[in-house]
Amino acid sequence: MCFRPGQADDALTTICVERGMAGLNVAPKRKEIYKYEAPWTLYSMNWSVRPDKRFRLAIGSFVEEYNNKVQVISLDEDSAEFSAKSTFDHPYPTTKIMWIPDAKGVFPDLLATSGDYLRIWKAGEPDTRLECLLNNNKNSDFCAPLTSFDWNEVEPNLIGTSSIDTTCTIWGLETGQVVGKVGGTGNCVSGHVKTQLIAHDKEVYDIAFSRAGGGRDMFASVGADGSVRMFDLRHLEHSTIIYEDPQHRPLLRLAWNRQDPSYLATISMDACEVVILDVRVPCTPVARLSNHRACVNGIAWAPHSSCHICTAGDDHQALIWDIQQMPRAIEDPILAYTAAEGEINQIQWGATQPDWIAICYNRSLEILRV
């Protein structure tokens, strides 16, 4: 399989076997890795969660100019090839891409992107169209760039954005629920600001909703002040500081455990480790995952397990860790993939595809069977 057991620096981890050998219930002859080469350097990427779109992803270009692209690609399992289903223009590179968390397929087929603004798109083949542009600074031509956002899984009409202007904004969407509408020129999606708050003392770099307390009202954010802060939409007059980086380095990303809302992971700027936190024991990490040999860029919890997390970084490695022995030290990853041909800047574990992890490096997207 693509991920090989052993320590991260084991030379055998570079072997990627494409004949269903070791692994869990791997059928023979099935490929373990699929690759797509984009026309431009990739950064943002995410899996679709619709049940009828098994191997569909959206990818965003990283071109240092105004004109960028977003592409929707899909894997044909018979031909074992990815193909582009839709390509559309996007102002500036997307800082994040996310599909509506609609595992039952009852909402319109929507895609969101962040950059200068939050944009909601209606996916189509070949035409994906802009449904609405959400800007909470109506009185000025200036807009503070959005660093990230999260789409609430329990309440898909809620999206939270983080910005360099120190704020987080919670948006309420009206999706119209007009599925299969024919004719007419009006868009069926609109949005409004439900609340905006100053979340940090400096730029906010990431935001993520928690599944705790019903999964609707709790969220956390990280930022340039080096702190992880937790908020409750029902009590926004105060927040809880979960962690502060000892060197006050900016914290760039955070991710909640998908099965146990007590745990979250974060990474600091230029750090070769991932910090695991327990919200019940604030300010003291319960684990540090330290086997990367260059800075970590991405973290992704397993969708189906509370004790597995994948990390990826500039050392061309994606590592899977088993954290169930916490609070004892986690010495080594249980699986490693080191065949990436460049610095991995993005990693996503398919929410409805627990056997597959997607990574991006240079112009390449790869999906890897775990």
Query: Could you give the domains of the chain?
Result: 46-176+187-290 (2.130.10.10)
Beta-carbon contacts of residue 84 (< 8 Å; ≥ 6 apart): 71, 72, 73
**CA 10 remoteness from chain centre:** 28
- Read off the pTM: 0.89
* 314-327 average pLDDT score: 95
pLDDT of residue 1: 65
Would you state the structure tokens that stand for residue 11, as one six-digit string? Answer: 């030379």
Cα–Cα separations (whole angstroms), residue 36 to 82, 210, 294, 340: 6, 32, 25, 13
**DSSP 8-state code for residue 196:** E
pLDDT of residue 31: 85
d(CA 317, CA 293): 9
Alpha-carbon distances, residue 286 vs 22, 87, 140, 261, 277 (angstroms): 31, 43, 44, 14, 6
Tell which wins on pLDDT, 13 or 101. Answer: 101
Output the pLDDT for position 44.
Answer: 98
Question: Which DSSP string do the residues of 4-67 spell out, in sequence order?
Answer: EES-TT-GGGG----SS-SSSSPPTT--SEEEEE-SS-EEEEEE---TT-TTEEEEEE--SSSE
Q: Which residue has the tokens 């299969």?
A: 180
Q: How far apart are the first and last CA of the chain?
A: 7
Query: What value does the mean pLDDT take over residues 219-240?
Result: 95
Kindly report, residue by residue over 120-151, the tens digit of the pLDDT.
Answer: 999 999 999 999 999 877 666 677 899 999 99
Of the pLDDT bands very low, low, confident and very high (cuts 50, 70, 90), residue 175 is confident
State how far Cα 133 lies from the chain centre: 21
Res. 83: pLDDT tops 60: yes
Whether the CB-CB separation of 222 and 252 falls below 8 Å is answered with: yes
Sort strands 190-198 and 335-337 into parallel, antiparallel or unpaired.
unpaired
Q: How many CA atoms lie within 13 A of 119 on its CB side?
A: 23
Q: How confident is the model at residue 263 (pLDDT cuts 50, 70, 90)?
A: very high
For residue 124, the one-letter residue type is: G
Residue 267 in this model has a pLDDT that exceeds 70: yes
Flag whether pLDDT at 221 surpasses 80.
yes
Q: What is the pLDDT of residues 330-343, one digit of tens each?
A: 999 999 999 999 99
- Confidence class of residue 6 from pLDDT cuts 50, 70 and 90? low
Average pLDDT over residues 208-237: 95
Confidence of residue 183 (pLDDT cuts 50, 70, 90): very low
Least confident of 134-148, 224-238, 240-254, 273-287: 134-148
> Looking up tokens 């059928």, which residue turns up?
27
Closest CA to 289 of 309, 316, 261, 263: 309
pLDDT at 189: 85
Q: Dihedral of CA 211/212/214/216: which sign?
A: negative
Task: Share the mean pLDDT of the chain.
Answer: 89
Sheet holding 42-47, edge to edge: 42-47, 56-61, 67-76, 81-91
Q: Is a pLDDT exceeding 50 seen at residue 14?
A: no
d(CA 251, CA 175): 33
Provide the 10 A C-beta neighbour count for residue 167: 18
Name the amino acid, one letter, at 118.
L
Cis peptide before 126 (omega within 30 of 0): yes
Is residue 186 predicted with pLDDT exceeding 70? no
Instruction: Please report the pLDDT score of residue 200 as a whole number.
Output: 95
Length of the chain: 370
> How far is it, in rounded angstroms, from Cα 72 to Cα 38?
11
Angle (CA) 59 148 347, round 5°: 45
| Band (237; pLDDT cuts 50, 70, 90) | confident
Report the half-sphere exposure of 183 (CA within 13 A, side-chain side).
Answer: 0
Residue of 367 and 28 predicted with greater confidence: 367
**Under a CB-based contact definition with an 8 Å cutoff, are residues 93 and 43 in contact?**
yes
Helix (H, G, I), strand (E, B) or coil at 214: helix
Give the pLDDT score at 34: 96
How confident is the model over 52-68, as pLDDT tens digits?
898 999 999 999 999 99
- Give the tens place of pLDDT for each residue, 87-107: 999 999 999 999 999 988 889
Phi, psi for 130 (deg, rounded to 5): -75, 125
